[in-house]
Amino acid sequence: MPRFAANLSMMFTEVPFLERYEKAAKAGFTAVEYLLPYAFSVEEVAAPLAKYNLTQALFNMPAGEWDKGEKGIAALPGREAEFAKSLETTLAYAKATKVPMVHCMAGYAKGVDMAEAERVYKANLAKAADFFAPHGIKVGIEPINQRSMPGYFLRTLQQAVGYIEELGRPNIKLQFDFFHVQMEEGCVALKLRENYKYVGHCQLAGAPERNEPDTGELRYEYIFKVVDELGYPGYIGCEYNPKNGTEAGLGWFAPYKKK
């Protein structure tokens, strides 16, 4: 049976961030993920995990000036020093939360020479993988669809898998988001099977609206069956926008929640 992580950046937003851990636990989740923890201290994001017996499944590395629209810097020429500095910051939070994988966002490559962006991206990704490997931490890369984020550097599974194979670091993993794959490429279950050996983390949302998984065109009952058949051991991150309030939309989760 699949296991799920509540995404606290998108779910339970009816309450302040640090109160969302309790909400997730009471709703039956055993794990959480979120985008960026860095507005809070290491202690503030670690303590609720122990208090509510939750596992930290994933979070993102520092991703540039998020409030100004940036979505990562790994593929941005001229930001290499900033990227290198972010590794130490990430590690402090990773150690405190015992997270197994961090998401390295590539960023927008608009107006950038693509060959240079690719060179910088590969160098930064290799640096991150080598930095985190001694700590047992994986580095996730996630193709993001161009409808949601036009101009994002990493957009297809083929592109992501190509970098994983070329760089040859065993701790670089594919972050397989069913929503993004459906919106960019389709054939979600088939592509999950084809690329499963690279997968380190999965995420879900209904497509195309990105609401609960029981909305939209994807049949998640079948996808969850495939996930089980493949023996996926991790959590599936619930990275969706609740349509009419988080708790009102958790009917899909009832068969899977902690009793």
In CATH, what number is assigned to the domain containing residue 33? 3.20.20.150
Residue 259 lies in a domain: no
Residue 208 lies in a domain: yes
Report pLDDT for 258: 73
- Give the confidence band of 259 by pLDDT, cuts at 50, 70, 90: low
Report, as residue numbers or ranges, the catalytic residues.
142, 239
Domain that holds residue 244: 3-253
Cβ-based burial of 76 (10 A; exposed 0-12, middle 13-18, buried ≥19): buried
Residue 175 lies in a domain: yes
Residue-wise pLDDT tens digits, 140-199: 999 999 999 999 999 999 999 999 999 999 999 999 999 999 999 999 999 999 999 999
Tell me what the pLDDT averaged over the chain comes to. 98
Residue 258 lies in a domain: no
Residue 140 lies in a domain: yes
- Give the confidence band of 213 by pLDDT, cuts at 50, 70, 90: very high
Report pLDDT for 69: 93
Cβ-based burial of 127 (10 A; exposed 0-12, middle 13-18, buried ≥19): middle
Domains contained in the chain, number:
1
Which of these, 106, 111, 112, 61, lies nearest to 87 by C-alpha position?
A: 61
Q: Which residues of 58-74 are buried (b: 16+ CB within 10 A; e: fewer)?
A: bbbbbbbebeeeebbbb
- Mean pLDDT, residues 97-114: 96
